[in-house]
Amino acid sequence: MKTKLLVTLLACLASTAAMAADSPSVGSAAPDLSLTDSKGKTHTLAQYKGKYVVLEWFNPECPFVKKHYGGGNMQKLQEEFTGKGVVWLTINSSAPGLEGHLTAEQSEKKIGEWKTKQTALLLDEDGKAGQAYGAKNTPQMFVINPEGKIVYEGAIDSKATPNAADIPNSTNYVKAALDESMGGKAVSNASTKPYGCSVKYKKA
Amino acid sequence: MVSNGMNAGRPARSAFFAAVLFLGLLCTGRAQTYEGRELVQASLLADVSAVVPGKPFTVGVLLRMVPHWHTYWKFPGDAGIPSEMNWKLPAGWKVGEIQWPIPLRLAEPGGIQIYGYHDEVLLMQEITPPASLTESTVQLGGEASWLVCEKICIPGSANLKLDLPVAAQNAPANEEIFSRYRRSLPQPWPDSKVANASWKRTSSELQLTVESAALANYPATEFYPLPGENVVAGHPKTERSADGKITFRVPIETQDRNVSALNGILVFGQSENSPERNAWSLTGAAPVATVSAPAPVLSGSIAKFLLFGFLGGFILNLMPCVLPVISLKIFGFIQHAGQDRRRILQSGLAFIAGIFAWFIGLALLLIVLKSAGREITWAFQFTNPYFVLAMSAVVLVFALNLFGVFEISLPQFANRSLLGWTAREGDAGAFFQGVFATVLATPCTAPFLGPALGFAFTQSGWMIFVMFLAIAAGMSSPYLLLSAQPAWMRVLPRPGAWMVRVKQLMGFLLMATLLFLLWVLGAERGVEAIIWASCFLLALSVACWMKGAFVGPTASFTSRLVAIALMLLLVLGSGYYFIGQKFRATKLVSASPATPAEGDWIPFTPERLASELKQGRAVFVDFTAAWCLTCKFNEATVLESSAVREAFQRRGIVKIKADWTNADPAITKILKQFGRPGVPMYVLYPGNNAEPILFPELLTQNLVLEKLETVSPQIAAE
């Protein structure tokens, strides 16, 4: 019987490995990405090794994204953590012609209008980075530690609504994850269900 | 009689454009028109012409979407949020959950999958008015809100109102639309004979296996999950195997290892998303009863639980399932009584080492399984038919040995290699007797063992380990005493010829144990399984006989070699054919096979229990298993006794039998809720949502009658 159990256990491990290809899970190494930002500069994840990195999936037309930018919630978070040395990369995976797509020029304009505070706004028109991370929502958040491991993935906060009025009464999971992880603690809510609009990928 | 209190709400088109252009206030504006079109028309309908006080009726929020746009199901999938209805009802009115029709599964580029509705959906809820109403007309209303998406997503809301007259009688209304949407509601899960569902958890996946002949004619069978709060589930992948089983593999990203099943609906039809589909609702993952289970018995220090473990281990010696084997040991002591003290102590220690070896092995196995995220429970090994089969083989071999068919002797090389171990066969024999006694003891959770193990299973791996050591120590304490103080054995009779007779008698006792094990196999796998297992056991007996007849110390080397080769051939060959082919092909008997509607006991399903409790009934649940002798003992001597039966009947207590023979995960879940690692467990729900009462594991008639007495006032108050 023990042999049978051992086989079952091995099968479990094997299936874990197979699943990892779908979307990286908490604790696994963050897939590298190489994207151009709104200023034409290329960013890779490798260059930020040794620092905390936040990835934020973005679509300026999505009501759930607007919920967090409208009242300055997202900007405040970006300002707080970039101030603490965190690299904050906002990624727009909307394909040309679809909701939320922005050219480099339009992105710069949006940054100015919305007074966003991220390290860089990256353009992912072909959706490769979004697919590598299995990002399906805007907003959808990832927190990567200095060793390049994902320590949080999921929603921005605990209230899945498009109402900005709900922000004060919700728990911000990204802030909690960064505070805990940077304080040397394990992230207590490391994986949550993201909520928002679907990422507007190009048709396959 | 239906007035559609359609209200466009705050935002108008200009507000929408302002929202898009402007940053502030973006989200308070809930645009409902887009490019000049009203995306969603919302209205409120009732299925009756008037409200009759106290009589429940159904209302529905009707959402009509423009073509290609969709709103979401209760679980939206990868993106989106479900529609909502916030009722503002007068005091005394009650409203039920939204009844969600079967949704469409919609795919978007990039592997995004959502569940929702196109064109139109009616979200029905049951409303119960108070028993007396003074008004002649009532207004029901609330705010419906939704997210509607096509290439973009726009949240919307509307204040809906519905005026209904109050009357003594009413007539059906809006029959066509209500009956159409009622047809598209998922049905309750059918009887397990029609469709049997079972869950398996791996570290990254939940696997739902459904066995149902009824689904064979539906090429499009899918599982739509309804994961609980903060359970992150992916899209189930469907696999059909040749034998008609359908397996749905649901990727789970939640770290909580306790997530062992999901709610959801099994959708089946001729083609995906066709309007002709049906669905069964699977609710095993819901907390079975909304009444709170008492907090697991976790109070008390670790030392106290270790003491319980020790006492429980001691009491294991008295359990009916282990007594036959213990008698073997007692017999051994008698045999050794004439020998010197050192020798007896040695044999006793070997026996104790066997007990410890088994418990340590079990502890390590449980720790590994626990860290792999499997549901674990005490005696879980008895839910595995191959384990029961192996036990039957061991019991048979022991019995044949006692009958004198053959003698157990260790091969020469084993003797020589066991340095330091005095290498007499008595010690090795005693060791395996220790292992054996303990293996048989595990399905009996003695009264003290329950809380102790329940405690240990919620603790770290280290704690489990220490707890098992305490149990092993408890179980072996009497043997340590007897072998350290052989003087106490003087009360035992002197050895002599009578010992051979007793030995043979013990053999029959083991044969009785074998009958019991075969019966367990039958309960798990059916009559055929017993037959094939017995064929194998027969071949095994012949091999044992050959060992006794031809492998004696007087036989020549060649004839010994030939005999051993033939024995191996016989055991392996019959094992391959009878077990590997025939036995393996036998099917798991579906839930509660041993007790198909046995007497006045109702077979357990989580839904059944929940519905009985919902109606405020008092319910007694017997958590049992075919392989649990303690359970059978309690049932025969207490629960089925005329006094107790009559007491149950007089108080109108609903009797439910939860058969854990095949480790039904829904039952495992409740055992865990009560902090118990295994069966037997007896729970009385006194009705009217009162706290459930947990009975001890060894029942007596007086105890049960007494407990029933104390709860009768509560029941009477119903």
Q: What is the pLDDT of residue B319?
A: 57
Checking if the pLDDT of B408 tops 60, the result is no
Residue of B nearest to A130 (CA): B110
Please, what is the average pLDDT of chain B? 76
- Are B370 and B463 a contacting pair, CB within 8 Å? no
* Spatial contact of A151 and A26, defined as CB atoms under 8 Å apart: yes
Q: How far apart are CA B589 and CA B449, in angstroms?
A: 30
Q: What are A110's two structure tokens?
A: 């949006």
Q: Do A63 and B390 touch (CB under 8 A)?
A: no
Question: Residue B624's beta-bridge partner residues?
Answer: B659
From chain B, the residues in CB contact with A99 under 8 A are 151-152
Strand segments, DSSP code E, in chain A are: 34-37, 42-44, 53-58, 87-92, 120-123, 137-138, 141-144, 150-154, 197-198
Report the C-alpha gap between A92 and A59 in whole angstroms: 6
Q: Is the pLDDT of residue B10 over 50?
A: no
Query: Which pTM value belongs to this model?
Result: 0.50
pLDDT tens for each residue of B221-269: 899 998 877 677 888 888 888 777 888 988 887 656 667 788 899 999 8
Highest mean pLDDT among A13-22, B19-28, B95-104, B299-308: B95-104
Q: What average pLDDT does this structure show over B314-336?
A: 63
Q: Regarding predicted confidence, which is higher, B509 or B85?
A: B85
Using a CB-CB distance cutoff of 8 angstroms, which residues of chain A are in contact with residue B75?
none
pLDDT confidence of residue B394: 79
The model's pLDDT over B107-137, given as tens digits with 9 standing for 90+, comes to: 888 778 899 999 999 999 999 999 888 888 8
A-B Cβ pairs (cutoff 8 Å, strict): 137
The secondary element (H helix, E strand) that includes residue B95 is strand B94-95
Residue of A nearest to B79 (CA): A198
Enumerate the residues of chain B whose CB falls inside 8 A of the CB of residue A19. 204-205, 251
Token couple for B512: 């009785």
pLDDT (tens digit per residue) in B416-430: 333 333 334 566 777
| Tokens describing residue B299 | 């109070």
Residues of chain A contacting B79 with CB distance shorter than 8 Å? 136-137, 195-199
Tracing tokens 């059916």 back to the chain, one arrives at B526
Q: Which residue has the tokens 């409200």?
A: B51
Of B154, B202, B381, the CB nearest to A63: B154
B564 or B285, which is more confident: B564
pLDDT of B80 reads: 87
- Residue labelled with tokens 């795919």: B107
Distance from CA of B686 to the nearest CA of A (A): 37
**Are B656 and B609 contacting, i.e. CB atoms less than 8 angstroms apart?**
yes
Residues B586, B525: contact at Cβ < 8 Å? Answer: yes
* pLDDT tens, N- to C-terminus, chain A (204 residues): 333 333 333 333 333 333 333 567 788 889 989 999 999 999 999 999 999 999 999 999 998 999 999 889 999 999 999 999 999 999 999 999 888 999 999 999 999 999 999 999 999 999 999 999 989 999 999 999 999 999 999 999 998 888 888 899 899 999 999 999 999 888 888 888 899 999 999 886
CA distance A193 to chain B (A): 5
B381·A19 Cβ contact <8 A: no
What does the pLDDT read at residue B454? 59
User: How crowded is the C-beta side of B87, counted as CA atoms within 13 Å?
Assistant: 22
Contact present, A157 and A189 (Cβ < 8 Å)? no
Pairing assessment for the beta strands A87-92 and A53-58 based on DSSP bridges: parallel
**Token pair for residue B337?**
């009584």
CB–CB contact A63 B24 (8 Å) = no
Query: Under an 8 A CB cutoff, do B253 and A26 touch?
Result: yes
Judged by a CB distance cut-off of 8 A, whether residue A13 touches chain B is yes
CA nearest B663: which of B619, B620, B628?
B628
Per-residue pLDDT tens over the stretch B655-690? 898 888 777 888 888 887 777 777 788 888 887 767
DSSP B560-578: HHHHHHHHHHHHHHHIIII
CA-based nearest residue in chain B for residue A111: B23
CB B146 within 8 A of CB B9: no
CB contact under 8 A, A61 and B231: no
The percent of chain B in helix, strand and coil, each rounded to the nearest 5, is 40, 20, 35
Mean pLDDT, to the nearest integer, of B152-158? 86
Do A136 and B110 make contact, defined as CB atoms within 8 angstroms?
A: yes
pLDDT of residue B121: 95
- Between B394 and B710, where is the model more confident? B394
* Torsion B415-B419-B424-B427 (CA) sign: negative
Residue B288 has pLDDT above 70, yes or no: no
Question: Which chain A residue is nearest to residue B228, measuring alpha carbons?
Answer: A193
What per-residue confidence (pLDDT) applies to B671? 83
Closest Cα of chain B to A202: distance in Å?
6
3-state secondary structure of A102: coil
Mean pLDDT, range B615-637, rounded to an integer: 80
Residue tagged 């300055």 (tokens): A72
Q: Which residue of A has its CA nearest to B385?
A: A1
Whether residue A161 and residue B381 make contact (CB cut-off 8 A), yes or no, is no
Closest Cα in chain B, distance from residue A88 (Å):
21
* Closest residue on chain B to A164 (Cα): B27
- Is A197–B149 a contact, with Cβ atoms under 8 angstroms apart? yes
- Which of A23, A193, A200 has the highest number of chain B CBs within 10 A, making it the mutation to test binding with B? A193
Mean pLDDT on B692-700: 80
Residues B178-215 pLDDT 10s: 999 998 999 888 877 778 888 887 777 888 888 888 88
Angle of helix A73-82 relative to helix A63-70, nearest 10 degrees?
70
Q: Distance (Å) from the C-alpha of residue A40 to the closest C-alpha of chain B?
A: 25
Chain A residues closer than 8 Å to B227 by CB: 193
- Inter-chain contact A162–B155, Cβ cutoff 8 Å? yes
Using the beta-carbon criterion (under 8 Å), do A197 and B80 form an inter-chain contact?
A: yes
Q: How many CB atoms lie within 10 A of CB B365?
A: 17
Q: Under a CB-based contact definition with an 8 Å cutoff, are residues B88 and B141 in contact?
A: yes
> How many whole angstroms separate alpha carbon A143 and alpha carbon A145?
7
| A109 or B629: which leads in pLDDT | A109
- The pLDDT of B145-169, averaged and rounded, is 88
B468-496 tens-digit pLDDT: 888 888 888 877 877 777 666 666 555 56
Q: Quick one: which of B608, B315, B360 has its CA closest to B469?
A: B360
Q: How confident is the model at residue B46 (pLDDT cuts 50, 70, 90)?
A: very high
Which is more confident, B640 or B341? Answer: B640
Query: Out of B112, B204, B372, whose CB is closest to A9?
Result: B372
How distant is the Cα of B30 from the closest Cα of chain A, in angstroms?
Answer: 9
Q: What is the pLDDT of residues B500-523, one digit of tens each?
A: 776 777 778 778 878 888 887 887
**In B112-124, which positions are buried (b, 16+ CB within 10 angstroms) versus exposed (e)?**
bbbbbbbeebbbb
Q: Is the pLDDT of residue B336 over 70?
A: no
Q: Which residues of A touch B109 (CB under 8 A)?
A: 95, 127, 200-204
pLDDT tens figures, B52-76: 998 999 999 999 999 989 999 999 9
Q: State yes or no: pLDDT of B24 exceeds 80.
A: no
Over its C-alpha atoms, chain A yields an Rg (Å, rounded) of: 18
Contact B179, B207 (CB under 8 A): no
